[in-house]
């Protein structure tokens, strides 16, 4: 383990660049969410934060702990995995609620539902 | 042997991933953690059995690596694209559009992964999948050419996912 004063300059620069890049992407995502005009455009903006916003910040953390030798730095990758797996679930839930609302209220030019969404599976081979 | 395997480890890949995850979270490969992790992994595997998911059939390991590389590059590219749209102000108005994309992929795990890819890529969102028609409704933030967009997704991702799972 090394103290902050002994942290090598090249690593400090790289960690800072990665952390700032990740934060900037997340910030841009938030600005986009405020600036875009309709719901379906707005849901795209936060994905900046959930994709490379998270990845850059996670890389910064991995690099910092790897170079300072405090611990092996791999378990941050789990953060990326969980964010990638859980975002679509929330997003689909929100988007389908919005689609339902817009279809019932007939606002905007939302496409009509296609086919039947619920599949009734037949029991056995009958 | 098969009966024993079904009883103890119905989903060996899931249980193995859980042990690895447990050890990563504990940041230790001590015997105690391996034992505790294994107990949890076996328990979770048995709990999963109650849900009766179809076990994944993975065919092509090379295609998985190719898919990961392709996704990372595309996500990075669309991060830059969406960041540019956000910053460009009133000069460049995005052209949002809904796309109804027909799919050939039917494997559940493959569809789940395709929805993750489409959603994780900024600028496109997977909204509504219809299993009867086998189509999916996708919203795109800045659509230039519908045919080429659908072509890219089908040619790159769907083809690779079908190589892996079907």
Q: Are residues B69 and B136 in the same domain?
A: yes
| Annotated domain spans of chain A | 8-105
Our count of domains for chain B comes to: 2
| Nearest Cβ partner for A114 among B94, B96, B130 | B130
Model's pTM, two decimal places?
0.80
pLDDT one-digit tens code per residue, B21-54: 888 888 778 888 889 989 988 888 888 888 777 7
**Contact (CB, 8 A) for A52 and A79:** no
Q: Are residues B147 and B68 in the same domain?
A: yes
| Nearest Cβ partner for A41 among B75, B135, B141 | B141
Q: Are residues B103 and B84 in the same domain?
A: yes
Q: Are residues B42 and B73 in the same domain?
A: no
Q: Are residues B79 and B145 in the same domain?
A: yes
For chain B, how long is the longest CA-to-CA vector? 67
Spell out the alpha helix ranges (H) of A68-107: 77-105
pLDDT one-digit tens code per residue, B123-139: 888 888 888 888 888 99
Cβ contact A110–B98 (<8 Å): yes
Residue A55: the pLDDT is 92
Reduced to 3 states, what is the DSSP secondary structure of residue B66?
helix
Q: Are residues B117 and B147 in the same domain?
A: yes
Q: How confident is the model at residue A124 (pLDDT cuts 50, 70, 90)?
A: very low
Q: How far is B7 from chain A (nearest CA, A)?
A: 24
pLDDT exceeds cutoff 50 at A83: yes
Residue A120: the pLDDT is 47
Residue A126: the pLDDT is 35
Look at residue B140 and tell me if it is in a domain: yes
Cβ contact A28–B83 (<8 Å): yes
Q: Which long-range contacts (CB under 8 A, 24 or more apart) does A72-78 make?
A: A72/B27, A74/B24, A75/B24, A75/B25, A75/B27, A77/B24, A78/B21, A78/B24, A78/B25
Strand order in the sheet with B135-140: B97-102, B135-140, B124-130
Query: How many other β-carbons are positioned within 10 Å of the β-carbon of residue A86?
Result: 12
Predicted ipTM beyond 0.90: no
Q: Are residues B119 and B159 in the same domain?
A: yes
Look at residue B56 and tell me if it is in a domain: no
Residue B133: the pLDDT is 85
Q: Are residues B108 and B154 in the same domain?
A: yes
Residue A58: the pLDDT is 93
CATH number at residue B84: 3.30.70
Name chain A contacts of B98, Cβ cutoff 8 Å.
40, 110-111
The position carrying tokens 């890219």 is B152
| Nearest Cβ partner for B120 among A51, A72, A111 | A51
| Structural domain for B155, as ranges | 61-165
**Range with top average pLDDT, B10-14, B17-21, B57-61:** B17-21
Residues 71-110 of B with CB under 8 A from A: 75-76, 79, 82-83, 85-87, 94, 96, 98, 100
pLDDT one-digit tens code per residue, B91-150: 667 888 888 888 888 888 888 889 989 988 888 888 888 888 888 889 988 888 888 888
Q: Are residues B105 and B161 in the same domain?
A: yes
Q: Are residues B145 and B107 in the same domain?
A: yes
Look at residue B19 and tell me if it is in a domain: yes
Q: How far is A52 from chain B (nearest CA, A)?
A: 7
Q: Are residues B119 and B44 in the same domain?
A: no
Q: How confident is the model at residue A122 (pLDDT cuts 50, 70, 90)?
A: very low
């Amino acid at each position: 383990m090394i103290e902050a004063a002994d942290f090598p300059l090249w690593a400090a620069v790289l960690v800072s660049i990665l952390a700032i890049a990740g934060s900037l992407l997340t910030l841009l995502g938030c600005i986009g969410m405020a600036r875009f005009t309709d719901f379906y455009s707005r849901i795209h903006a936060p994905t900046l934060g959930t994709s490379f916003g998270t990845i850059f910040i996670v890389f910064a953390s991995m690099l910092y702990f790897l170079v300072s030798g405090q611990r092996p730095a791999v378990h941050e990758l789990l953060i990326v995995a969980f964010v990638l797996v859980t975002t679509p679930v929330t997003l689909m839930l929100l988007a389908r609620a919005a689609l339902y609302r817009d279809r019932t209220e007939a606002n905007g030019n939302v496409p009509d539902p296609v086919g039947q969404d619920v599949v009734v599976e037949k029991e056995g081979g009958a | 042997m098969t009966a024993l395997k079904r009883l103890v480890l119905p989903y060996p890949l899931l249980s193995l991933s859980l042990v690895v995850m447990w050890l990563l979270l504990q940041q230790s490969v001590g015997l105690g953690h391996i034992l505790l992790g294994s107990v949890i992994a076996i328990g979770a595997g048995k709990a999963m059995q109650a849900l009766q998911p179809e076990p994944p059939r993975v065919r092509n390991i090379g295609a998985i690596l190719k898919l990961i590389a392709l996704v990372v590059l595309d996500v990075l590219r669309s991060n830059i694209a969406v960041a540019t749209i956000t910053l460009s102000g009133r000069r460049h108005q995005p052209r949002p559009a809904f796309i109804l994309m027909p799919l050939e992929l039917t494997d559940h795990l493959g569809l789940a992964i395709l929805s993750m890819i489409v959603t994780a890529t900024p600028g496109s969102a997977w909204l509504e999948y219809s299993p009867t028609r086998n189509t999916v409704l996708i919203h795109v933030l800045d659509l230039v050419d519908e045919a080429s967009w659908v072509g890219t997704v089908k040619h790159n991702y769907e083809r690779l996912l079908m190589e892996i799972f079907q």
